[in-house]
Chain A
Amino acid sequence: MSPSDYVPTRRELLSMIGKIGGGLAMYQAMTVLGHAAETQFTGPPALTGARPGASVLVLGGGLAGMLAAYELGKAGYRVQLLEYQDRPGGRCYTVRGGDKIVEVGGATQNVAFSAGNYLNPGPWRIPHHHRTLLHYAKAFGVELEPFIQNNTNTFVHRGNAFGGKPQRYKELAVDFKGHISELLSKSLNSGALDSQVTAEDKEMLLVAMREWGVLDENMAYVSSIGTSAQRGYDTPPGGGLVGAPSASTINGLSDVLSSNIWTQLNFHFNNVMQTTMFQPKGGMDMIARGFFSQVEPMMRMNTRVSRIAQSDSGVTANWTDTVTGETGETQADWCVCTIPPTILSQLDVQVSDATKAAISAVPMNGQVKIGLEMRSRFWEENYAIYGGHSFTDQAISLISYPNFDYFKDGPAVLLGAFANGAGAFQLTGMTPEQRIEIALEQGSIFHPEEYRREFVSGASVAWSRMPWIQGCTSRWTEESRAGHYQNLVQMDGRIVLAGEHATYYGGWMEGSLLSSINAIEQLHSRALAA
C-alpha cells in the first residue's frame, strides 16, 4: 500500500488533528465528522440572487413566518406577511398587566399584573444548544438572562408519598442515589454480578458506589454528617461554641421510591432540559419583537385568511380584516404558509390531496399555564428558593419561581401551573376563575402559609381555547410521521408549509426556526429554477 492510498481511521485522524492543531481544532473537526454535533443550524440561510420582482406571500406572523419574511426580504424578494392577530409572535407570547385574553366562547381576562411582571404562556426557556434562536436573539439585540432550570432546594410532591407532604428535591435525590448505591454494592459483594463485570471493574464500581452514594465503612447508606453534607443538616454548621452541625435523618428506600424522584432526575437529563438555559429579559416576546423590528413594514395585522389558491403563475390568499371588515386578496409568486395545522385544516387550501391529508393528521396538545402574582417573594424569604420548579403530580404539574428581581420587595409573578395531558384538559374546561382557584388550592401544598395570603391576581392561558391557534404543540406519532411528514414539509407547487408542526423539534422555537429555514431554502431553489 502506497502512502497516498492510506486512509486513516476517524480516530487516527482526530488524534493527528489534535496533536497538530490543539483541542479547538480537534473539537471543530469532531463536529464536522459527526461527533459532538448539537444542532442542525449551520448559520443563517445564504439566499442570494432572487429574480428581480419575485414576490412571496408569508402567512402567519409567528417566529417561522417572521424569519421567512426577514431572510427572503434580505435575499431580494418582495414580501408580504399576513397575521391574524393584532400582535406579532404567535406562541412566542408574553402576558402583562393591561393585556386582555379572550378565549373561544368569549371568556375574557383582564390581566392585572404589576409593571415588570409577566407570564410566558408558551415558550419560556431556551436550551444553550438552540443555536438558531440564540443566533437571531443576538442579531436583534435581545438581552438574555439565565433561566434557573435545576434548583435542588425546590420541592417534590406526590399525593401518595410521604403522606402527601412535599420533600426537598435534594433530600430525595441524595437518598435515591445513596440507596441505589448501597443495593448495587451489596449485589456486587454477594457475587451476583461476577459473571458480568471483571474483577477490576467490580473493585472500581465498589469505590464508585461508596463515594457517589456517600456510603459508610460498611457500605451502608445511613444518616451521618457525611450524607448531610449533601442532603442538608438537621443543625447546619455554624461558628464558635455552637458551631458543630448535627446530621439529618435519611428517608427509607420505600418512601424515596414512592416519590418517583427518578422522574425529576431524568427530566433534567433530557438534552433540552440541561443547563445552561436562558430567557429574554422582560418576557419571551422580546424574541418576537426582535424579528418584528425587522419585518414590520411587510406585515399586515388583524388579517384573517380564509382561502389559499395557487396556479401555474402564482398564489392568491383571500382575507378579511377582523377590525374593519374589509375583504381583499393578496397575490404573490410563492407562498410560505405557517398557519398551524389546527387552523389550516379548517381552511380552503389548494394543495395536493397528500398535503391536505398531512395537514389533517397533526392535532395539537392543549397545555395550560397560569400566572399568579404574589405580594411578596415568600419563596425566597421563607424557603431560600431562587428560581427553579417545585413538582407535583396534581393537575398543575409544577409551580415555577421567577428568575429575575431576586431579593426585591414588591409583587412577583410565579408560574402557578404548567399542565399537560389530562390535567390540561380539566383546567381548560374550567372558567378562568375556576382555574385560578384550582391553582391556588393545588399550589398551596408547597407554601401553605403564604400562598393564598399573598395572592393578588392571576391569569391563565388555556391553549386549546386560544381562538387563533386552538392548541399549543403539535402531536406526531411514528405512524403519522411515516405517512405524512415528508408530504407536509415538501413544497407543494408554489406553497411551502413551515412552523412548529413541520419539524422533528416540536414544542420549541428552535424547531419553528429550523423549519422555516428549510422551507425558504426549498422555495428559493424552486424560484431560481422556475
Chain B
Amino acid sequence: MSRHPAAALVVAGAAVLAAAAPALRAQDGPGGTSSVEISDEGEQVYQQICQSCHMADARGGAGAGTGIPALADNPRMADKDYIIKLMATGRGGMPWFTDVLTPEQIAAVLTHVRTEFNDFPEPVTAQEVARLAGSASAEQ
C-alpha cells in the first residue's frame, strides 16, 4: 500500500486531523497539498525518510552537540519494543513517525535497520508496531 497523506486519518485516528489540515497550522509552510508517496519496502523507506538524519550508511553524524546517533552496529536495535516506541513517540531531536508512516512501513524499515545495519535477523511485524505504537501523536 502506498501512503497518501489522507490515509493517516484512517490509520492513526482523529488525533492526526490537525496534521491533515495544514491551513490551520500557524507555522510558516508552503501551502497546498502533497502527493509525495513513501515506499512500503524497508530499504526504500530508509532512503526516503531515515537517511535524512542517520545518513545513507546509518553511521549518523557529528554536530554542535553529541551528534546524530549511528543505527549501524547499535546494540539498542536488538530491543524491538524500544525502537518501535521511539518511532511512535520520538525523543530529543527525533520526531515521531506515526503520522508519516503506516505500521507496515515502520515494521519494514525497522526490520531493514536490524538486518542490514545490524545482525538481528528476527523481523519486526506490523502487528507489533500497531500494538506498541497505538497512540499516535498529533502534529500541531
Contacts and interface: CB of A to CB of B under 8 A. Distances in A.
A397 B35 CA distance: 10
A193 to B, nearest CB: 26
B93 A420 contact: no
A349 B107 CA distance: 35
Nearest to B65: A346
Nearest to B46: A429
A4 interface: no
A257 to B, nearest CB: 12
Interface residues of A, number: 74
A470 B94 CA distance: 10
Contact of B30 (A159, A339, A418): A418
B138 interface: yes
B5, B22, B28, B37: most-surrounded residue (chain A CB, <10 A): B28
Interface of B is mostly: loop
B1 interface: no
Interface string A240-278: 000000000000000000001001101111111100000
B138 A470 contact: no
B31 A273 contact: yes
A429 B62 CA distance: 16
Given A420-B29, A470-B63, A158 B35 contact: yes
Given A475-B95, A508-B28, A421 B137 contact: no
A266 B24 CA distance: 9
Contacts of A479: 137-138
B127 interface: no
Given A156-B32, A346-B93, A393-B32, A506 B65 contact: no
Contact of B93 (A84, A125, A160, A341): A341
Contacts of B95: 363-365, 475
Given A364-B93, A468-B63, A508 B32 contact: no
Contact of B92 (A273, A345, A393, A426): A345
Given A425-B52, A470-B53, A343 B32 contact: no
B126 interface: no
Given A421-B100, A479-B137, A393 B33 contact: yes
B78 interface: no
Contacts of B61: 104-105, 465, 467
Contacts of B66: 346-347
B65 to A, nearest CB: 3
Given A343-B64, A422-B38, A398 B100 contact: no
Contacts of B32: 156, 260, 263-264, 267, 391-393, 397-398
Interface in A106-158: 123, 125, 156, 158
Contacts of A478: 138, 140
A148 to B, nearest CB: 14
Contacts of B5: 421-422
A398 B100 CA distance: 20
A267 B92 contact: no
A270 B31 CA distance: 10
Interface in A402-459: 418-426, 428-429
Contacts of A389: 30-31
A363 B92 CA distance: 6
A505 B26 contact: yes
A471 interface: yes
Given A366-B53, A422-B38, A422-B100, A269 B26 contact: no
Contacts of A506: 26-27, 140
B27 A508 contact: yes
B47 interface: yes
Interface in B54-107: 55-56, 61-68, 90-96, 100
Nearest to B32: A391
A481 B18 CA distance: 14
B48 A475 contact: no
Interface in A330-347: 339, 341-347
Nearest to A267: B31
Contact of B36 (A156, A339, A394, A505): A394
A476 interface: yes
B52 A398 contact: no
Contacts of A58: none
A470 B62 CA distance: 10
Q: Which 3 A-B pairs have the closest CB atoms?
A: A346-B65, A507-B27, A267-B31
26 contacts: A104-B53, A104-B63, A267-B32, A339-B64, A341-B93, A343-B65, A345-B65, A345-B92, A345-B93, A363-B93, A391-B31, A393-B36, A395-B36, A397-B30, A398-B30, A418-B29, A422-B34, A423-B34, A462-B52, A464-B52, A464-B53, A473-B28, A475-B139, A477-B138, A481-B140, A507-B29
Given A260-B32, A477-B139, 11 more contacts: A268-B31, A270-B23, A360-B91, A363-B93, A395-B36, A398-B32, A423-B34, A426-B49, A467-B62, A479-B138, A505-B26
